[in-house]
Amino acid sequence: MHDGEPALGEERSPSASRGGEERSPSGSASRGPGETSRRGSRQGRRNDPGRRDRIVDACLKVIARDGVAGTSHRRVAAEADVPLGAMTYYFDGMGELLHEAFARFATTVSDRFEARMAQARSREEARDAVVALILEDVFTSQRELVLSHELYTLAARDAAYRDLTTAWMARSRAALERHFDPETARMLDALIEGLTIHRALDAQARDAREVELAVGRLTASK
């Protein structure tokens, strides 16, 4: 939606011209209350440059709470505290918003992954970093676990979201390959994700030494 177009739920007056002004019977422009509200709306957008980002963050909150199936323009707008019409002003539709929200989530997790591996200065430190990723960094909360699984579900049937997960895995493997050969990096990437999910879903707390043992075995001669 562009400036001057009616927001959701707002109807254009039958007497409005193409330019958005109402005309009197003589053809002269008359200023009605709708023009004032539209100007106020545009002014509000200029004074709220962070609105688009806030909508994306709110979308992630709604997904984590209600799932993708329960995410709607109305719920995201309420979470972001923005007018409902702002949703279609900033995004062409829910598909674009969901894709941008999951892209932001994947980038956040990937940045944290890369930062952890970049701290390692030796092979032993790299092993410790992998253990820390599993125990501390990946899926640090129930929210991240839910968001990850919602993204995986979308990626399983939609190529656009599969591109996000492919790029996510590529960044993880590249970070691991700074310390391990490509084959080991791929196996470690799978181990990190698998153990993280198992630990998050297991009703019984697992000993951290199990993680250390698994990483040690996988990297023993690599």
pLDDT tens digit sequence for 155-214:
999 999 999 999 999 999 999 999 999 999 999 999 999 999 888 888 777 788 999 999
- Is residue 6, in this structure, part of any structural domain at all? no
The answer to whether residue 86 scores a pLDDT higher than 60 is yes
> How many degrees, rounded to 5, is the angle at CA 50 between CA 77 and CA 8?
35
Per-residue pLDDT, averaged over 94-123, amounts to 96
Percent of the residues in the chain that have a pLDDT greater than 70, as a whole number: 78
3-state SS class at 16: strand
How far is residue 37 CA from its own chain's centroid?
32
Per-residue pLDDT, averaged over 26-55, amounts to 57
How far apart CA 96 and CA 65 sit, in angstroms, is 20
Q: What is the pLDDT of residue 46?
A: 55
- What's the mean pLDDT when you consider all of the chain? 83
How far apart CA 167 and CA 161 sit, in angstroms, is 10
18 Cβ neighbours under 8 A, 6+ residues apart: none
Residues 49, 113 within the same domain? no
CATH number at residue 76: 1.10.357.10
pLDDT in tens, 21-31: 444 334 444 44
- Is residue 43, in this structure, part of any structural domain at all? yes
The residue ranges of DSSP E strands in 8-124, in sequence order, are 22-23, 29-30
